[in-house]
A and B are shown apart, each in its own frame.
Chain A
């Protein structure tokens, strides 16, 4: 047991805490690279995502943050010609080669997208429970219970309680995004991927989503892609900095506790970026 643990920690970069047991790691990436039709888009991603923390991926556009994130719930399976190499472990299971099916993986690793994308033909209630229904859960009591809990967790319950049957298209942008978060939470995932979740929202809605993320990490591990450095500094515990290499492929430059990345990075390029000298 001792040996396995040390293997798991020695092989990877060290995150917010210098010593971690495997139990505290939600996802572990090792030499992960994504390529499209042989052309590498991002590579060299090696880091551990700690449970119940917010890990942010930052870097200028073209550095492959979103591409990397979409590899974590196998969304690249939908793109012909896309290939993910390296190892991505979810609770110790390789998500590409382990005995985990892609539909199961996606119930355990949820995703929130850049633009709010509720299902336009469904009501608020149907949107929240859609993941459960996809997965064969039909019992009304469970659906009702989970719908309320997820909407509460997404801080949306008070404002929609009386209009659950209304079409989701009637909500404001910020409410729609919180609905999408509730929809992802309904399946009670272990990890929640968020791809620039506030980039399409106004500052007040953004603030509310950020507050939400801080409370949510009690319940779910969050990995967030953001181009907003203040946001990364405010809400994330660990931070991965990616940059586009000379061959126009993104690569991981540095992974560390957020505080270190912003105040005392190892790589000078990280400092330049966080100070706003480029990007």
Chain B
């Protein structure tokens, strides 16, 4: 029996060496082999999309800033899709971020303990609902409602035509509807993560601030949010990554028109939705143009998830210091 920590440590080293020396066994080779297979799949995932997109990069200017999409001959301009992607995701993110943060805070600080777990489970289940179901709801329930009630209503406001398009335009599926559906869709995801980040703030420092006479809101504003800040940004970027990559929900409710415009009640599209809707009939260079849009989407998504991951890691370090 080891009696001192140093003995245990030396025994540990021995065992590690032992496992290293026999690491050339069939089992280790199997693990390495399978992992390499995983790496090959991942690399060919990125590679094949890039390779098939190469013909379209002959006109990079058109692809990034061109405003028209002429099937099947071209030119293929991606400006409308890029704009649509950012418009819808950013609106969705602002709405879901504000409402979602309030929701997470009330789950942690208002809801009594008994119900907290039930609500947390429910939120996670809602986050697991396939996006097509959110799209379906937007398409069959919200879109008709927008046509009948929302559009006439907002057009009564004087500033409406700048944001929503000229009055009397009767549009259901639109960038506005896509933003609404996206915000409802990413809300559970955002709440699930931000609630976790907020409840990870140590109760010791929360009690310390209460003990100094802080009100509940002061505890949240001055202690909880600053401590959880980085993790909350991580959650935001993750939600943004999900919104930008969403395909079928946007394809159903955005209207599917390749028009670059900022009138929210007019139909538009996003990168992912455009790939999904055009792919069926695409031939030749149009396929490469869609692949090129896929490469763009990949770049956007990978950078967002890179940022979000580094933020989450930094949050972990902040909390480790407490």
Chain A residues in contact with chain B, CB under 8 A?
A: 73, 75, 78, 80-81, 103-104, 106-107, 110-111, 113, 115, 117-122, 130-131, 133-135, 169, 180, 183-184, 187
B212 within 8 A of A: yes
- B278-310, CB < 8 A from A: none
Task: Please name 14 further chain A to chain B contacts, defined as beta carbons within 8 Å, in addition to the given A121-B223, A121-B318, sorted by A numbering.
Answer: A103-B214, A110-B212, A111-B208, A113-B204, A117-B208, A119-B205, A119-B209, A119-B227, A122-B226, A134-B214, A135-B212, A169-B321, A183-B208, A187-B213
Say yes or no: A117-B214 contact (C-beta < 8 A), given A80-B112, A80-B113: no
Contact with A113, one of B114, B207, B318 (Cβ below 8 angstroms) = B207
- Bound complex: CA of A113 vs CA of B212, how far in Å? 12
Contact with B209, one of A104, A107, A134, A187 (Cβ below 8 angstroms) = A134
Question: Nearest chain B CB to A273's CB is how many angstroms away?
Answer: 29
- B192-232, CB < 8 A from A: 202, 204-205, 207-215, 218, 222-223, 226-227, 229
Contact between chains at A107 and B208 (CB < 8 Å) = no
Contact between chains at B213 and A120 (CB < 8 Å) = no
Contact between chains at B212 and A187 (CB < 8 Å) = yes
Q: Which residue of A lies closest to B318 (CB)?
A: A120
Interface string of B99-138 (1 = CB under 8 A from A): 0000000000000111000000000000000000000000
Contact between chains at B322 and A120 (CB < 8 Å) = yes
Q: Which residue of A lies closest to B229 (CB)?
A: A121
Complex contacts, A78 vs chain B, CB 8 Å = 207, 210
Complex contacts, B322 vs chain A, CB 8 Å = 117, 120, 169
Contact between chains at A130 and B213 (CB < 8 Å) = no
- Bound complex: CA of A169 vs CA of B317, how far in Å? 12
Contact between chains at B211 and A134 (CB < 8 Å) = no
Contact with B213, one of A103, A113, A122, A169 (Cβ below 8 angstroms) = A103
Contact between chains at B227 and A120 (CB < 8 Å) = yes
Contact between chains at B213 and A119 (CB < 8 Å) = no
Contact between chains at A130 and B112 (CB < 8 Å) = no
Chain B residues in contact with chain A, CB under 8 A?
A: 112-114, 202, 204-205, 207-215, 218, 222-223, 226-227, 229, 318-319, 321-322
- Bound complex: CA of A183 vs CA of B209, how far in Å? 10
Number of A-B contacts (CB under 8 A): 78
- Bound complex: CA of A122 vs CA of B222, how far in Å? 10
A-B contact pairs, 13 of them (CB 8 A): A75-B210, A75-B211, A80-B113, A103-B215, A111-B208, A113-B207, A119-B208, A119-B223, A120-B227, A121-B318, A122-B226, A134-B209, A134-B212
- Bound complex: CA of A124 vs CA of B318, how far in Å? 16
Complex contacts, A81 vs chain B, CB 8 Å = 113
Question: Nearest chain B CB to A100's CB is how many angstroms away?
Answer: 12
Q: Which residue of B lies closest to A81 (CB)?
A: B113
Complex contacts, B205 vs chain A, CB 8 Å = 117-120
Say yes or no: A134-B222 contact (C-beta < 8 A), given A106-B213, A107-B212: yes
Complex contacts, B202 vs chain A, CB 8 Å = 117
Question: Nearest chain B CB to A158's CB is how many angstroms away?
Answer: 24
Contact between chains at B207 and A75 (CB < 8 Å) = yes
Contact between chains at B204 and A115 (CB < 8 Å) = yes
Complex contacts, A115 vs chain B, CB 8 Å = 204
Q: Which residue of A lies closest to B204 (CB)?
A: A117
Question: Nearest chain B CB to A6's CB is how many angstroms away?
Answer: 35
Complex contacts, B211 vs chain A, CB 8 Å = 73, 75, 106, 110-111, 184
- Bound complex: CA of A81 vs CA of B114, how far in Å? 10
- Bound complex: CA of A115 vs CA of B318, how far in Å? 17
The 9 closest A-B pairs by CB, nearest first: A131-B212, A117-B204, A111-B211, A107-B213, A134-B214, A121-B226, A169-B321, A106-B213, A103-B213
Contact between chains at B213 and A134 (CB < 8 Å) = yes
Contact with A130, one of B204, B209, B321 (Cβ below 8 angstroms) = B209
- Bound complex: CA of A78 vs CA of B210, how far in Å? 9
Name the residue in A81, A107, A119, A121 with the highest tally of chain B Cβ atoms < 10 Å from its Cβ: A121
Complex contacts, B227 vs chain A, CB 8 Å = 119-121
Say yes or no: A180-B209 contact (C-beta < 8 A), given A80-B113, A103-B215, A134-B218: no
Complex contacts, A130 vs chain B, CB 8 Å = 209, 212, 222
Complex contacts, A169 vs chain B, CB 8 Å = 321-322
Complex contacts, B112 vs chain A, CB 8 Å = 80
Complex contacts, A122 vs chain B, CB 8 Å = 226
- Bound complex: CA of A103 vs CA of B212, how far in Å? 8
Contact with A184, one of B204, B212, B222 (Cβ below 8 angstroms) = B212
Contact between chains at A104 and B212 (CB < 8 Å) = no
Complex contacts, A80 vs chain B, CB 8 Å = 112-114
Complex contacts, B213 vs chain A, CB 8 Å = 103-104, 106-107, 131, 134-135, 187
- Bound complex: CA of A75 vs CA of B206, how far in Å? 11
- Bound complex: CA of A115 vs CA of B204, how far in Å? 8
Q: Which residue of A lies closest to B211 (CB)?
A: A111
Complex contacts, B215 vs chain A, CB 8 Å = 103, 134
Complex contacts, A75 vs chain B, CB 8 Å = 207, 210-211
- Bound complex: CA of A118 vs CA of B227, how far in Å? 12
- Bound complex: CA of A103 vs CA of B217, how far in Å? 12
- Bound complex: CA of A184 vs CA of B223, how far in Å? 16
Q: Which residue of B lies closest to A109 (CB)?
A: B211
- Bound complex: CA of A169 vs CA of B218, how far in Å? 21
Question: Nearest chain B CB to A154's CB is how many angstroms away?
Answer: 15
- Bound complex: CA of A24 vs CA of B209, how far in Å? 29
Question: Nearest chain B CB to A99's CB is how many angstroms away?
Answer: 16
Complex contacts, B222 vs chain A, CB 8 Å = 130, 133-134
